[in-house]
Amino acid sequence: MQEVGCNHAQSVRYSTDGFATTPTMRKLLLIWVTARMHIEIYKYPAWSDVVEIETWCQNEGRIGTRRDWILKDYATDEVIGRATR
């Protein structure tokens, strides 16, 4: 899920380094740190299942951000899990 979050940051042109940092953060030698993550899995996928992951983020406080994920079985569109940090 961390990789999906970084890919999302790159796809919306927030970051280009693979760590979801801004140019200012890189100049100051700063990175994002995941302090905690809450994951709920309702159904584990089988080995050959394709999983679709949706993610979005929102500001939380002055220097924090919160990211959420929804995990779906691609074949059935069934929500099989959720996560937030």
pLDDT at residue 13 greater than cutoff 80: no
Most confident of 5-9, 38-42, 54-58: 38-42
What does pTM read for this prediction? 0.70
The CA distances from residue 48 to 51, 54, 58, 67, 74, in Å, are 10, 19, 33, 27, 11
- The C-alpha atoms of residue 44 and residue 81 are separated, in whole angstroms, by 8
Give me Rg for the CA atoms of the chain.
15
pLDDT at residue 43 greater than cutoff 90: yes
- Average pLDDT of the residues in 44-63: 86
DSSP state of 7: H
Residue with the larger pLDDT of the pair 22 and 81: 81
